[in-house]
Chain A
Amino acid sequence: MDATDRAIINALQGGFPLCERPYAAAAADLGLAESDLIARLERLLADKVLTRFGPLFNADAMGGGFLLAAMKIPPADFERVTELVNAHPEVAHNYAREHAFNMWFVLGAEKPERIEQTIAAIEAETGYPVHRMPKLDEFFIDARFAA
């Protein structure tokens, strides 16, 4: 990544224009040619610096079901339970964290009832309870990461 890549990442974390030639408009603000901006975005995606270029969705507004869940797993059993949990396609973003609640993951499914079915399956397979941490409100942030 060079200074121009960093400038692109810092400038385009929000506010990409909704107009007929948005790359040209954004490139002009950065002092770049439209084709240069597009080529750099392609490379940043190929290099996996960027996950995606485009929309950041709001999960709640998409329909379907999403739930943050946590489990308390004895350390000696952690790897076994991780494999069982991660085998479910509904599970995303599984993080180990330093706490008695040491496993945190997000469940997502197009049909909301699938979330409860997955929790029941995980509890039966692992022998540990799944604690539900449903979102009641989101305090919105324009997330920015300086490159």
Chain B
Amino acid sequence: MELDATDLALLAALRDGLPLVPEPYRVLGESVGLGEAETLARLKALQDAQVVKRFGVVVRHHELGYEANAMAVWDVPDAAIDRLGENLAKDKAVTLCYRRRRALPDWPYNLFCMIHGKSADWVKGELARLAEQHGLAAYPGAVLFSTKRYKQRGAWVGRGATEAA
């Protein structure tokens, strides 16, 4: 989807969230000079094109008790990665799933997923199940638990965009 200047203004106005008023889209539209109907139509198009993945609550994992997070990675053949990634993404334990470029020679892994849980033991158990269930145990892999979060702040377009980088 090609974003025009009005779309970008709308996204910038949404950076901090939707107004908490009975007619939020009318108020949002007014702030960028759009009527309510056009605002709704543009937001629907942005959502259909996955520029905005979804509207709703964006939770802080820690405050909900999701204190354990692990990044699990595997080195899988390029020919198999789409199927494996799509299967992982459908698994209820997985919160993010990406294919990334390998950083050779030190980092051979190309399939990344994140798992958040209320305890490290739960996350470990789910990882073992995932690897077994999705046929990943056959590939070289690693699990990286986070030990400390130093900074959780959006750069540039705000708290929205870097979550998904």
- Chain A residues in contact with chain B, CB under 8 A? 8-9, 12-16, 18-24, 34, 38, 41-42, 44-45, 47-64, 66-68, 70, 72, 82, 86, 89-101, 104-110, 131-147
| Shortest Cβ distance from residue A127 to the other chain B in the assembled complex, whole angstroms | 17
| Shortest Cβ distance from residue A78 to the other chain B in the assembled complex, whole angstroms | 10
- Tell me whether A92 and B47 are in contact (CB under 8 A): no
Residues of A within 8 A of B159 (CB): 51-52
Apart from A14-B55, A59-B163: 11 A-B pairs, beta carbons within 8 A: A9-B64, A12-B57, A38-B20, A54-B16, A55-B14, A57-B51, A93-B153, A95-B146, A108-B155, A135-B165, A142-B54
Chain A, interface SS category: mixed
Chain B, residue nearest A95 (CB): B146
Asked, given contacts A57-B157, A92-B155, A131-B103, whether A139 binds B165 with beta carbons under 8 Å apart, the answer is no
Interface size on B, residues (CB 8 A): 80
Give 11 pairs: A residue, B residue, CB < 8 Å, sorted on A: A8-B57, A20-B23, A58-B161, A59-B161, A59-B164, A68-B100, A97-B146, A133-B101, A137-B81, A137-B99, A138-B99
In the assembled complex, the Cα of A20 lies from the Cα of B25 at a distance in Å of 7
The answer to the question of B56 belonging to the interface, with a C-beta cut-off of 8 Å to chain A, is: yes
| Shortest Cβ distance from residue B150 to the other chain A in the assembled complex, whole angstroms | 4
In the assembled complex, the Cα of A52 lies from the Cα of B163 at a distance in Å of 12
In the assembled complex, the Cα of A9 lies from the Cα of B63 at a distance in Å of 12
In the assembled complex, the Cα of A133 lies from the Cα of B102 at a distance in Å of 7
In the assembled complex, the Cα of A22 lies from the Cα of B54 at a distance in Å of 14
In the assembled complex, the Cα of A99 lies from the Cα of B20 at a distance in Å of 43
Chain B, residue nearest A35 (CB): B22
- Tell me whether A50 and B101 are in contact (CB under 8 A): no
Contacting residue for B144 out of A53, A68, A98, CB 8 A: A98
